Structure 1
Amino acid sequence: MTDQTPSERQAANSSLGELVGEVTHDMSLLMRQELELAKAELRESAKTTAKAGAMLGAGAYAGHLTVLFLSIALWWGLGSLFDNGWLGALVVAILWGIAAAILIVVGRNKIKEVQGVPQTVDTLREIPGTLKRNEENR
């Protein structure tokens, strides 16, 4: 007698339909378990991302306040230098206007560089031709 594992003995004594049924059941179970794992990982990633987003938002707000108060300090300093408060405010506003214009121009140029998903579009365009019956498949 040969040494057979329990799985080999079961396979030898089972019909093809039973074996296919078991494989189908096992695959279904595996897929459900993988989906549950993916859901759990996504939930954890979402929590971590939300916390990181909140921290980034708080940091951006703190940075905004820093820039605001530095601008006020510059306004005050220039007002003292020019002996006129409104002139200091005007200089600070012009500096911020120049910064805004530069950022807008650079941002618009970057947006124009965005190509979307050209490789995916090309691949999707090839699918209908691939599905058509050709001379080799007849």
Structure 2
Amino acid sequence: MGSRTESTSGRRDEPLGEVARDLTRDVSLLVRQEVQLAKAEMAEKGRIAAPGVGMIGGATVAALLAGGALTAAAILALAIFLPEWLAALIVGAVLAVAAYVLVQQGKERVAEAGAPVPEQTIETVKEDVEWAKTRASSARN
């Protein structure tokens, strides 16, 4: 009962239980390999991005220091014509509005980008699912 026989089409006819077991084993192996591929893909993306992230961090610190100096200069310039407290209030309000606009635009951009996902792996998983479906349907026929 568990023996394989050669069919007229040249392929082996296997018992359904054996086909199911083989398919389960193959799909399990495939899923493990796809997970490994996804991990490798994400690690590669992280390795490439890491130096850039460090540079952006350094630039952020420099920009904050420059922003503080420029803010002080703007307040001192306005203080020539206005009381100091009013000059500081005006500069602070302008900076608050600018920050709000930047945050709103940044949120929109992040939402457009979506989550970082291993795109290549997702495509190969879709192909693998189609392959498994094809194999399962041909095993039934």
2:79 is paired with a residue whose SS is helix
Q: Which residue of 2 aligns with 1:62?
A: 62
Following TM superposition, by how much is the alpha carbon of 1:134 offset from its aligned partner in structure 2, in angstroms? 2.4
Given the superposition, is the C-alpha separation of residues 108 and 53 from structure 1 closer, same or farther in structure 2, using an over 3 Å criterion? closer
Given the superposition, is the C-alpha separation of residues 126 and 54 from structure 1 closer, same or farther in structure 2, using an over 3 Å criterion? closer
Mind listing any 5+ residue stretches in structure 2 that lack a counterpart? 1-43
- Tell me the C-alpha RMSD between the 2 structures: 3.2
Q: Which residue of 1 aligns with 2:129?
A: 128
Q: Which residue of 2 aligns with 1:88?
A: 87
Alignment length, in residue pairs? 90
1:81 is paired with a residue whose SS is coil
Q: Which residue of 1 aligns with 2:77?
A: 77
Counting helix residues as a fraction of each chain, which structure ranks higher?
1
Please say which structure displays the higher CA radius of gyration. Answer: 1
Mind listing any 5+ residue stretches in structure 1 that lack a counterpart? 1-41
Given the superposition, is the C-alpha separation of residues 55 and 136 from structure 1 closer, same or farther in structure 2, using an over 3 Å criterion? closer
Q: Which residue of 2 aligns with 1:107?
A: 106
Following TM superposition, by how much is the alpha carbon of 1:87 offset from its aligned partner in structure 2, in angstroms? 0.4
Q: TM-score, normalised on structure 1?
A: 0.50
Greater relative CO (CA pairs within 8 A, separation 6+): 2
Identity %: 26
